[in-house]
């Protein structure tokens, strides 16, 4: 049966806020609900690729190859992962020159969008793990997406920068992709013993209301450990607080989807 594929970009121009960790572990949790996913590593750092166990030899046919050659079939660069329901298009540092190389290309903002049309209906979700910048790469991701998920780290400067992200989203909506919506804001690296953390959560909820997920992701070392072994956390320690939080987040996301329909 043909599926309706929802494309979600995971963005925040701030570094180290949990974009890649969420790009691995939210889909891994959704796979437990029988959803089929494609992950796209859209960051020259290639952290998503290594974090889900794609080794370097396998990193030859990457997202860069299909973005820069109109004739290459997207299916040729899709790889399997150790999670049966999750496939990936990897990235490596080749992608770093994308912004410069496409400067003079007409409709450069639509390069990813055009390629993703070829896989429409094959997956329930496509997740795009963006780089920590608001570059042409990120614009391509937003132009190709139905929605954005914004991870925010529970720290003092959490809200700094969100206004910029929202401005970019509005501009993409007005000029390139009128269908773009906000999937949700996700608070990450939450420490319940830290009073400041609690205040930040309250502050973010006060500012953004219902688009903030009820579920927060706790600070949990198992999440880092799992990535360093190239595994989603549910395959590394299924009972740790990180695994449970991403499972509950998946549940919340699916419940919201039903509610919206």
* Binding site residues, ligand ATP, CB under 6 A: 15-21, 43, 45, 47, 132, 188-189, 217, 219-221, 223-224, 227, 242
Residue 36's alpha-carbon distances to 24, 72, 80, 121, 181, in angstroms, are 13, 23, 12, 11, 21
**20 touches Mg ion (CB under 5 A):** yes
Task: Report, in Å, the least distance between residue 206 CB and Mg ion.
Answer: 28
Q: Does 19 bind Mg ion (CB under 5 A)?
A: yes
**CA–CA dist 62, 114 (Å, integer):** 16
Q: Nearer Cβ to ligand ATP, position 31 or 188? A: 188
Which residue number has the CB closest to Mg ion?
20
Minimum Å distance from CB 117 to ligand ATP?
A: 27
Q: How far is CA 240 from the centre of its chain?
A: 22
Span of 12-20, 50-58, 173-181, 223-231 interacting with Mg ion by CB under 5 A: 12-20
Specify whether the CB–CB gap between 64 and 94 falls below 8 A.
yes
Contacts with Mg ion, 28-47, as mask; x by CB under 5 A: -------------------x
Structure token digits, residue 165: 């992200």
Residue 25 is a binding residue for Mg ion (CB under 5 A):
no
16 binds, among ligand ATP, Mg ion, none (CB under 5 to 8 A by kind): ligand ATP
Q: Is 185 helix (H, G, I), strand (E, B) or coil?
A: strand
| 46: alpha, beta or left? (left if phi > 0; alpha if psi -120 to 50) | left
Length of the chain: 261
What residue has token string 């079939």?
73
């Amino acid at each position: 049966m043909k599926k309706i594929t929802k494309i979600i970009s995971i963005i925040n121009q701030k570094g180290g806020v949990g974009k890649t960790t969420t790009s691995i572990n939210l889909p891994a949790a959704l796979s437990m609900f029988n959803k089929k996913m494609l992950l796209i590593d859209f960051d020259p750092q290639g952290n998503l690729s290594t974090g889900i166990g794609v080794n370097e030899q396998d990193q030859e046919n990457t997202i860069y190859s299909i973005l820069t050659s109109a004739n290459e079939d997207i299916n040729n660069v899709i790889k399997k992962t150790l999670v049966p329901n999750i496939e990936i298009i990897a990235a490596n540092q080749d992608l770093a020159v994308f912004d410069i190389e496409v400067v003079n290309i007409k409709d450069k903002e639509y390069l990813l969008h055009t390629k993703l049309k070829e896989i429409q209906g094959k997956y329930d979700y496509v997740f795009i793990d963006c780089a920590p910048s608001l570059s042409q790469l990120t614009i391509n991701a937003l132009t190709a997406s139905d929605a954005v998920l914004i991870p925010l780290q529970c720290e003092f400067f959490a809200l700094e920068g969100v206004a910029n992200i929202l401005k970019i989203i509005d501009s993409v909506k007005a000029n390139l992709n009128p269908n773009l919506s906000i999937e949700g804001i996700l608070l990450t690296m939450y420490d319940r013993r830290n009073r400041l953390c609690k205040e930040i959560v309250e502050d973010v909820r006060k500012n953004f209301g219902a688009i903030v997920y009820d579920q927060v992701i706790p600070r949990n070392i198992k999440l880092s450990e799992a990535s360093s072994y190239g595994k989603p956390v549910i395959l590394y320690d299924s009972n740790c607080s990180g695994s449970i939080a991403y499972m509950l987040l998946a549940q919340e996301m699916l419940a919201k989807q039903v509610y919206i329909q």
